[in-house]
Amino acid sequence: MNDGPAAVVIRATNLTRTFGRFVAVDHITFEVRAGEVFGFLGANGAGKTTAIRMLCGLLLPSSGDASVAGHDVYTESEAIKRDIGYMSQRFSLYDDLTVRENIRLYGGIYGLSAARVRERTGALVARLGLEHVVESPVRAIPLGWKQKLAFSVALLHEPRIVFLDEPTGGVDPITRRQFWEMIYQTAAEGTTVFVTTHYMDEAEYCDRISIMVDGRLAAMGAPVELERQYGVASIDDVFLRLARPEGS
């Protein structure tokens, strides 16, 4: 757990979303504090994406309350959108635009001045080591680089919180490792990271995790605490316990 009383930046209370009779997210309650790396785990269809969409202002909750960066999800979704960054499992980058054009596009969308965009582009490209492909279309660069670039673009406007929806899908372990280093660095700089994943080993990297099963929050806490609580050696085992409670 975090030792300091860092401010709460995401708060959800009994947040619920139904689609017809199907309850996708069922009364989930949690808090995320500034600077945390908060892992949001669950099997496919457990309700992770629905929850993240409600928090990002893409989807209205059916009931319950939530606030993100101090803004209410019902009434202030526009304010939320300015304060968050978002990267989905699919890319938010345009394949046929060059690296530089993508950065400029998103810079413009988030209201950065042309000078600021140039400055950020230079820094970002240097940090990722993409100098030689900055004028190449994004489709021509390797997947791992694209993902790092997409992450950096999501951070372009220096959001208070960044939502990553399965950011490491389909990349090799080394790139995943590098990606997590970027996540740590981001959190260290004060940005809260809300990340969904179904790689259980990645869960171990998070400050705190929550595990969703069938729309409910089945468990929440620091990875080591959860392992101790369930008497198992890894989050993978915790997850199996929760997902199949009738077994063993």
Q: Does 129 bind other proteins (CB under 8 A)?
A: no
Nearer to other proteins, 196 or 207 (CB): 196
Q: Does 143 bind other proteins (CB under 8 A)?
A: no
Using the rule CB under 8 A, give the single segment among 36-44, 51-59, 122-130, 229-237 that binds other proteins.
Answer: 51-59
- What contacts 24+ positions apart, CB below 8 Å, involve 99-102? 99/125, 99/130, 99/133, 99/134, 99/135, 99/136, 99/138, 99/141, 99/149, 100/134, 100/135, 102/138, 102/149, 102/153
CB of 43 to other proteins, least distance (A): 21
Q: Does 224 bind other proteins (CB under 8 A)?
A: no
Q: What gap in Å lies between CA 88 and CA 109, rounded to an integer?
A: 17
Q: Which residue has the tokens 């004060």?
A: 190
Q: Does 95 bind other proteins (CB under 8 A)?
A: yes
Q: Does 108 bind other proteins (CB under 8 A)?
A: yes
C-beta atoms surrounding 209 within 10 Å: 27
Q: Does 16 bind other proteins (CB under 8 A)?
A: no
Per DSSP, which regions of 56-165 are E strands? 63-68, 71-72, 84-87, 161-165
- Work out which of 81, 100, 198, 216 binds other proteins, going by CB under 8 A: 81
Q: Does 169 bind other proteins (CB under 8 A)?
A: no
Element (H, E) at 18: strand 8-19
Using the rule CB under 8 A, give the single segment among 28-36, 65-73, 98-106, 175-183 that binds other proteins.
Answer: 98-106
Q: Does 239 bind other proteins (CB under 8 A)?
A: no
**Cα 160-129-97 angle, rounded to 5 deg:** 75
Take residue 176 and report the two structure tokens written for it.
């995943």
- Work out which of 34, 46, 69, 84 binds other proteins, going by CB under 8 A: 84
Q: Does 35 bind other proteins (CB under 8 A)?
A: no
Contacts to other proteins by CB under 8 A: 56-60, 78, 81-82, 84, 86-97, 101, 104-111, 137
